[in-house]
Amino acid sequence: MWLGRCLREMVGFWVVCVCLVLIVNGVKDASEEDDQLQPYRTAFHFQPLKNWMNDPNGPMYFNGVYHLFYQYNPYGPLWGNISWGHSISYDLINWFLLQPVLEPNQPNYDINGCLSGSITILNGSKPIILYTGQDLNKSQVQNIAFPTNLSDPFLRNWIKWSGNPFLTPGNDIKPTQFRDPSTAWMGVDGKWRIVIGSEIDGHGTALLYSSTDGINWTRSEKPLHFSSKTGMWECPDFYPVGNGGKRGFDTSEQGNNTMYVLKASYNNREYYVIGNYDEKTDRFGVVGNDFMVSNTEFQYDYGRFYASKSFYDNAKQRRVIWGWVNEGDSESDAVKKGWSGLQSFPRSVWLSDTGKQLVQWPVDEIEKLRTKQVNITNRELKGGTLEITRITASQADVEVSFSLSNLNKAELIDSETVDPQLLCAQKNASVSGIFGPFGLLVLASNNFTEQTAVFFRVFKGPNKFLVLMCSDQSRSSIAEEVDKSIYGAFLDLDPHHKISLRTLIDHSIVESFGGEGVACMTARVYPKLATNKEAKLYVFNNGTETISISTLNAWSMNKAQIVPMA
Ligand code: DQQ
CATH of the domain at 143: 2.115.10.20
Taking the centre of ligand 1 as the mean of its atom positions, its distance from the CA of residue 115, in whole angstroms, is 6
Q: Which of 309, 330, 362 is the last residue of a domain?
A: 362
d(CA 288, CA 344): 27
Identify the segments of the chain with pLDDT beneath 50: 1-29
82 Cβ closer than 6 Å to some ligand 1 atom: yes
Determine how β-strand 114-122 pairs with β-strand 486-491.
unpaired
Rounded to two decimals, the pTM is 0.94
8 Å CB contact between 172 and 203: no
Q: Same domain, yes or no, for 263 and 162?
A: no
Q: Is 142 in the pocket of ligand 1 (CB under 6 A)?
A: no
Beta carbon of 180 within 6 Å of any ligand 1 atom? yes
Among 168, 203, 235, the domain boundary falls at 168
Residue whose CB lies within 8 A of the most ligand 1 atoms, among 52, 55, 112, for a mutation test: 55
Q: How far is the CA of 234 from the centre of ligand 1 (A)?
A: 7
pLDDT of residue 244: 79
Ligand 1 centroid to 127 CA: how many Å? Answer: 22
Q: b vs e for 88-111, b when ≥16 Cβ sit within 10 Å of the residue's Cβ?
A: bbeebbbbbebebbbbbebeebbb
Quick one: 320 and 445 in the same domain? Answer: no
Ligand 1 pocket residue status of 307, Cβ below 6 Å: yes
Q: What is the Cα 154 distance to its own chain's centre?
A: 24
Residue at 435 is within a domain: yes
The secondary structure of the chain in percent helix, strand, coil, rounded to multiples of 5, reads 10, 45, 45
Question: Using a 6 Å cutoff on CB, does residue 351 contact ligand 1?
Answer: no
- The verdict on 210 and 158 lying in the same domain is no
**Cβ atoms of 193 and 184 closer than 8 Å:** yes
**Does residue 506 have an active-site annotation?**
no
Assigned domain for 494 exists: yes
In DSSP notation, 212-281 reads SSSSS-EE-SS-SEEETTS---EEEEEEEE-SSSS-B--TT---TT-EEEEEEEETTEEEEEEEEEETTT
Please indicate whether residue 114, judged by its CB atom, sits closer than 6 Å to ligand 1. Answer: no
Among protein residues, the one whose CA lies closest to atom 6 of ligand 1: 115
DSSP annotation of 106 reads -
How many angstroms does the Cα of residue 249 sit away from the middle of ligand 1? Answer: 26
Q: Which residues contact 557 (CB under 8 A, 6 or more apart)?
A: 43, 44, 369, 370, 371, 392, 395, 396, 397, 506
- Do residues 300 and 438 both lie within one domain? no
Nearest atom of ligand 1 to the alpha carbon of 132: 8
State the distance from the centre of ligand 1 to the C-alpha of 169, rounded, in angstroms.
17
Catalytic residue among 35, 55, 282, 506: 55
Nearest Cα to Cα of residue 258 among 281, 232, 287, 233? 287
With contact defined as beta carbons under 8 Å apart, do 445 and 556 qualify?
A: no
Q: In this structure, are 308 and 398 located in the same domain?
A: no
Does any domain span residue 26? no
Residues 351 and 410 in one domain: no
Task: Tell me: do 387 and 338 sit in the same domain.
Answer: no
Residues 400 and 511 in one domain: yes
Whether 278 is covered by a domain: the verdict is yes
Which residue range is the domain that position 336 belongs to?
Answer: 187-362
pLDDT at 18: 40
| Ligand 1 atom at minimum distance from 235 CA | 9
Contact 307, 265 (CB under 8 A): yes
Q: Is 308 in the pocket of ligand 1 (CB under 6 A)?
A: no
Residues 105, 164, single domain; the answer is yes
Q: Is residue 215 part of a domain?
A: yes
Residue 245: inside a domain: yes
Q: What pLDDT shows up at residue 293?
A: 85
Residues 209 and 342 in one domain: yes
The answer, yes or no, to whether any atom of ligand 1 lies below 6 A from the CB of 179, is: yes
Note whether 152 and 198 are same-domain residues. no
Cα–Cα distances in Å, from 343 out to 92, 144, 486? 12, 24, 20
CB contact at 8 A, 445 and 534: yes
Q: What's the confidence (pLDDT) of residue 416?
A: 81
Burial of 244 (0-12, 13-18, 19+ CB in 10 A): exposed
Q: Are residues 447 and 503 part of one domain?
A: yes
Q: How many domains does the structure of the chain reveal? A: 3
Does 351 fall in a domain?
A: yes
Select from 362, 383, 399 the last residue of a domain: 362
- Distance from CA of residue 297 to its chain's centroid? 18
Instruction: Give the dihedral sign, CA 10/15/16/21.
Output: positive
Q: Strand pairing of 51-62 and 339-340?
A: parallel
CATH number at residue 529: 2.60.120.560
Half-sphere exposure of 68 (CA within 13 A, CB side): 35
Please list, in sequence order, all residues whose beta carbon lies within 8 angstroms of the beta carbon of residue 116, skipping any fewer than 6 positions away. Answer: 55, 57, 71, 131, 132, 179, 180, 234, 235, 307, 309
Give the position, in ligand 1's atom list, of the atom nearest the Cα of 234: 9
The confidence score (pLDDT) of residue 28 equals 47
Q: Which atom of ligand 1 is nearest to the CA of 117?
A: 8
- pLDDT score at 14: 44
Q: State how far the Cα of 346 lies from the Cα of 361, in Å rounded to an integer.
A: 8
CA 32 to chain centre: 27
Instruction: Using CB atoms within 10 Å of the CB of residue 502, give its burial: 0 to 12 exposed, 13 to 18 middle, 19+ buried.
Output: buried
Q: For ligand 1, what atom is nearest to the CA of residue 71? A: 10
Strands (E), 299-341: 306-313, 318-325, 339-340
Going by CA atoms, what residue is nearest to atom 9 of ligand 1?
A: 234
- Find out whether the beta carbon of 53 lies less than 6 Å from any atom of ligand 1: no
DSSP 489-555: EEE-S-TTS-EEEEEEEETTEEEEEEGGGTEEEEEE---SSS-GGG-EEEEEE-BSS-EEEEEEEEE
Q: How many angstroms separate the alpha carbon of residue 16 from the centre of ligand 1?
A: 53
Q: Is residue 124 part of a domain?
A: yes
Residue 164, Cβ neighbours under 10 Å: how many? 18
End-to-end CA separation in angstroms for the chain: 47
Distance from residue 552's CA to the centre of ligand 1 (Å): 39
